[in-house]
Structure formats: C-alpha cells, structure tokens
Structure 1
Amino acid sequence: MGRRQISSELIRHSRSFFLILGLVSCPIVYMYLSAGEKGEELVRSFECCKGIEHLELWGDAVKWGSDFKLDSAQECCKACKDTCNATKGECLCDSWVFCGHRDACGIQFGECWLKKQKDTLDPELRDSGDKVMWTSGIIYGKGEGIVGLETSGYGVIYIKLLPECAPHSVSYILELLATRNCPGCHFYRAESRGSAWDLEGHHIKDAPFGPPSALIQGTLKAHEFIFDKISKEVSSPIYRGSVAWVGSGPEFFISLANHNEWKNEYSVFGFVLPEYMKIVEKIAQLPTKPDLWSNINVSILRKTVDLRFRRLNSEDLITQY
C-alpha cells in the first residue's frame, strides 16, 4: 500500500445526504477557552454554512417553507442554526431545504424549509439529480456528528465530523461507519512533538519545526471499498486535534500540535475531542523505526494499529461539542 508524504512545509455507495456534493471550501475559526486544571482546551466554532444543489432532504418540518422565504441558501442554513440553543446546543432544526433556482422554482422560489431528521448520521433523502430544484444542508448540534475511531488495544478516539465544511470526506466516513468495519484501515506512522511544541501544541520560539512532525498518520482505504479521491474541501490551518487528509486521501493524519507553518495545505474533516487526545499521544509514543520519504526523515510504527469507526455507545454521554 502506498504512503503519501506530508511535506516538510508543511465509496462505492455514499450515504444519502452526502452523495451529491459540490460545496466550496469554507473557513474554520478556532477559539481557545480556559478550562481550569485541565489547561487550555481547543473549542471550535464553524463558519461553514453551505448546501448541496439538486438535492432534497426529507424529514419532519419545523418551519414550513411556503410561509418562510429567504434570499439565499446561506440565509436558510443560518436560520436553521439559529434554532440551536446557545447554552445547551440543542437544535430544533438539523436540516434545511431551500429553493434557489428562480426559473425552476417558480412561485416556490425562496422557500426555506427547516426540518428535523430521525438520524443525523443518516439523513433521509427525498430526491436528487439535475432536475431537482432544491438545495439542502445538514447541521450537527452539540453531541451530534461524533463518531468513535476505535483502535486495536489503545481505546477509542472520538471525532467531531464537519459535514458543512467537508461533505465528501464525511460521506466516506459514514459509509465506513455504516459497515461497523474498516478492513485494512490502520495507523502506520507516529511522531511526537519533540522539542518543537509544548504539551498544548504551541510552537516553542526559535525551535525547528521537525522532524519529528507531531502527528500520527494512517490510511482509511478499506478493503472492498472504492475510495474516490477527495478534492480539497476545507482551507484551514492545522491545529492540535485536527483530522485531515494527506492530499486527496485515503491517507490521513491527526495532528499533535498547531502547525501554522503548513498554512492551508490540508483538507480538515473533523477534530478530536480534547479529552481523547491522550490516546493519540499514547500512539505517538509507540516503538518506531526510521524511514526516508523524499529526503525527509519519518518514523514508522514497528507494529501498525488497526482502526474502525463506530457510533457512540449508550453510555457515551458527550454533549459539549
């Protein structure tokens, strides 16, 4: 299996909602909040609010579009987000449908339907294709859109997915999630922060940027699954906990540090919940052997770590993200 290198400067049948995707890149804003003895935790707020053209999602209507018209899909998306409780994060609306093609929509032009899905990890599809006049989107409130990346022997890494920003990527993850298996998926590279970054992932002044590169890297190419290369979806710097593709995938990495030196090179499709970064750190400390990729020194795991995605268990109460 080939390995994609991270630079020194540094689906056979997708799930319903994410199958037909044409989103543009959107920024992610990262904010830091103090968390007492736990130190600094990374809390993300997302400025992505795009939809999928020629797609109509189904679901129970929270607000009827025939009585609610707006000027753009982005406004419809934001109207859905506005139903989320700022404190508890509960959302009355988790999906939206907008009619933005003036000629095709006719008197329905501008209709914004706010809806509620039975399962936001598998939203209900009404129709899709070039003849569909609707644009649809999905929103993950707090406690939603979180999947477990289960490792062999080291615990579960919980990841918050970013469907509004990286729909192509999320579609493939949800396909793996639906099978409850990921044969062939594994971590194969592990590098610590070394002396270049502190425990919170901040770069130490005047320290070299590596190697080591402060990351763990693997592949999500599952046997018997077709992986279509994914175009860049999110233009964002890499921060501690970012989960991103290398190139167009299926190689991916989880960052242990804030890599401002990598600029906006990589497509970010999720982030590790801060309290589960300890598992990432554990894997980064496993025995490795040196290798050379295009004149860059890397550290390869002596024994790969198998992976698979799974849903949250009933006892997994994660509601703050």
Structure 2
Amino acid sequence: MGRRHHDNDGSKRLGFPVFLLISLAAFSLVYISLSTLRPLSSSQFADEREAVGGSEAGGDEYGSGCCKGIENLELWGPAVKWGTDFRLNRSEQCCSACKDMCSGDGPCLCNSWVFCGHKEKCGDRFGECWLKKQNDILDPDKQLAEQKVVWTSGLIYGKGEGIVYLETEHGNLHFKLFPECAPHSVLYITELLKLRHCAGCRFHRAEGRGESWDSEGNHISGRTFGPPFALIQGTLETEGVPFGRIPKESCPSIKRGSVAWIGSGPEFFISLANHDEWRKDYTVFGAVLPEDMRIAEKIAQLPTKQDIWSNIQVSVLKNPVSLKVKRLASSQ
C-alpha cells in the first residue's frame, strides 16, 4: 500500500388514437427537456451553442445511500483504525464505517478511508479497510498511480466541512461538496482550490424562474417548464488544470441550489428551482447554501440576449461573469 511510517495504519383500455396522441405529447416533452441542458464545452460555445436538460421525476435526497470512492487511488495519512485488523467485503462497508465515526456535532474522527477489494491483486491484503484522518480535508494526502494502485479511497465531510465558494463580482456563492456521492468531481474541485486563478471560469447563461416556479423553487401547477429554465450556467475549465472527462456519478433529482455537471463537464449549472421534470442525468456534486441563493438569483437577473441552442430559446449573459473557486479562511 506504500503507507508512510507515521500511518497507524383495472382501468378502461384507451383506443389506439388516444394512445398515440399521449405518446407523441410525452415524446415532445422529453425532447424539449433534453435539448435544453446539453453538454457545452468552452470551445463549442461560439460555434455549436448546445444547451442543457432532462425529463423524469424522482430521485433520492442529496447523499442518501451514497458511499462511493475512487478506484486506483490511495489516500495516505495517519490511520485511526488499522486495516490489518479490520477487514470487510465491500468498499461501501468501509465507507460506512468511516461515516459512523463522523456523526453528531463534534469533529470527525475519520474523514477518509482506503479499501483493498481486488482479490487477485490485493492478495493477503484483500478486504483491508483503513480508516484515516486527513490533516486537510480539502487537500487530501494522496498517491495517484493509475493501474499500479490496487486501493479504492474516499473522503467524508462532516457537519460544516467541505464548504467552498465561487467568488464573483456580485457576491460569493458558498456550496457544500458531496464527496460520498461524487468523489471524482470533488477531487477535481480540490485541485482548483490550489490555484490562485481560475482563468476562463465564468457564468455565461442566466435564466430566472419566470412565472413557472415560486420563490421556494416549487413548480406552479398549470405553468410551463420553460423557457426560462431557472438556472445559471457556466464552465469550470481553467488554464493550469487539465480537465479530464468526469464519469457519471450520483444523479439525484435536481433541486433548488443543486450544483451539477452538464454531461462530463466542464460545463456546470446551479439550479434556481426544483426540476423534478428533468431526468436524473446530471452528476450533482454540491448544493449552494440557502442564504447564498440570493446571489444566484441576482446573477440570473443580469442583462441577457436571446440565442437559439438546439432549436431552444435560451438567455445568454451580455457580459459573462468571471468566477474563482476558493476555500474558506481558517477563521471562517
């Protein structure tokens, strides 16, 4: 594992014409939703103009049932429970064991875990679950060596931990990261935190709630689902950090405040409403703190111009809003 020495370690049948009409209507709704939230890379923005969307209700609450890690990743650091004396069958069990030590209002006794789950490659270390305590949860001590690493690792954020923010000229958008549900996404965000800049990071699309959703983000019965589509959209691709495609991770229903990737990134959006009509196709890697949603609403009201993406009308900011990804100061 390459640990350091300090590790401790019955209704009536519908006629065919009626059925056909219903099917066509349903298809149209799905098509409109899907074409509104399509992946959009920064290089495609000027040419392809594709948008973002979805269409199916349902989904778990944030973090519900999530306990995921990253394969071929080894987190180092002091162990609070040695894996040589603690063996489990699955990585999810190892993650849950760490979460059990990070409950309540006190500090987390465990904030990271390392599991060896490949029988052949792990050999006599198969099943070892190391529970650890990172000194800096937003800059974990890690070793990345792709296929040479047989370990799977994950992070756990306790109450009040894992909160970062997007700095803009209109105010700061604080949001909580979800490492248990979107570990790859969170690892990328932690890399952005190390930079003093986020060159190219910006919001470029802004659409308010219109008359379709109330101030709590609930859809108003009988109203359309857009446009406008109640979101602000941007990119988190920056110079200095190569952006690899982020795999699809946990995709709960989009709620007001959800921070999610479009496709595999780097395009992302913050939802201003509860979009239960969208399919669970978007990796949600965080949620804006309720008190900061006023900043997102403010950005959504900035001057825009109309554009057409994939035959759908969207509102594009006349002046994109630059942003930086930052971590809280220790005093905060």
TM-score tier (shorter):
0.7 to 0.9
1:24 equivalent in structure 2: none
2:7 equivalent in structure 1: none
| Distance of 1:7 and 1:255 partners within structure 2 | 11
2:44 equivalent in structure 1: 2
Deviations 1:181-223 (A, max 9, x none): 1011111111110111011101111110010000011111223
| Distance of 2:79 and 2:277 partners within structure 1 | 45
> Amino acid of the residue matched to residue 113 of structure 2?
W
1:135 equivalent in structure 2: 152
TM-score, structure 2 length as denominator?
0.80
SS of the equivalent of 2:194 reads: helix
Deviates more, 1:203-212 or 1:98-107: 98-107
Say which of 104, 107, 125 aligns to 2:121.
104
Deviations 1:274-297 (A, max 9, x none): 111111011111111212222211
Deviations 1:45-72 (A, max 9, x none): 4422122233322111111122222222
Is the 8 Å Cα contact of residues 28 and 45 (structure 1) preserved in structure 2? no
The percent of aligned pairs where both chains have the same amino acid is 60
> Amino acid of the residue matched to residue 114 of structure 1?
L
Asked if 1:265 is matched to 2:310, the reply is no
1:118 equivalent in structure 2: 135
Deviations 1:98-157 (A, max 9, x none): 222233333332221111001111111256443433222111111221111101x21110
| Distance of 2:261 and 2:144 partners within structure 1 | 30
Change (3 A) 1:140 1:208: same
1:247 deviation in Å? 2.1
Asked if 1:92 is matched to 2:137, the reply is no
TM-score, structure 1 length as denominator?
0.82
Question: Stretches of 4+ moved more than 4 A in 1?
Answer: 7-10
* Aligned length, in residue pairs: 285
Change (3 A) 1:288 1:155: same
Asked if 1:280 is matched to 2:304, the reply is no
Structure 1 or 2: more strand by fraction: 1
Greater Rg, structure 1 or structure 2?
2
RMSD: 2.1
| Distance of 2:54 and 2:147 partners within structure 1 | 41
Is the 8 Å Cα contact of residues 112 and 156 (structure 2) preserved in structure 1? yes
Say which of 160, 166, 177 aligns to 1:149.
166
Change (3 A) 1:215 1:314: same
Is the 8 Å Cα contact of residues 80 and 95 (structure 1) preserved in structure 2? yes
1:49 equivalent in structure 2: 67
2:221 equivalent in structure 1: 205
Unaligned segments of structure 1, at least 5 residues: 11-26, 31-43, 317-321
SS of the equivalent of 2:277 reads: helix
Structure 1 or 2: more helix by fraction: 2
Change (3 A) 1:94 1:235: same
> Amino acid of the residue matched to residue 150 of structure 1?
E
| Distance of 2:230 and 2:183 partners within structure 1 | 26
Change (3 A) 1:295 1:84: same
| Distance of 2:95 and 2:135 partners within structure 1 | 19
Asked if 1:60 is matched to 2:78, the reply is yes
Is the 8 Å Cα contact of residues 94 and 138 (structure 1) preserved in structure 2? yes
1:302 deviation in Å? 1.7
| Distance of 1:279 and 1:156 partners within structure 2 | 7
> Amino acid of the residue matched to residue 44 of structure 2?
G
Is the 8 Å Cα contact of residues 290 and 299 (structure 1) preserved in structure 2? yes
1:38 equivalent in structure 2: none
> Amino acid of the residue matched to residue 293 of structure 1?
W
Is the 8 Å Cα contact of residues 5 and 246 (structure 1) preserved in structure 2? no
> Amino acid of the residue matched to residue 293 of structure 2?
M
Deviates more, 1:57-66 or 1:119-128: 119-128
| Distance of 2:311 and 2:86 partners within structure 1 | 59
SS of the equivalent of 1:56 reads: strand
1:37 equivalent in structure 2: none
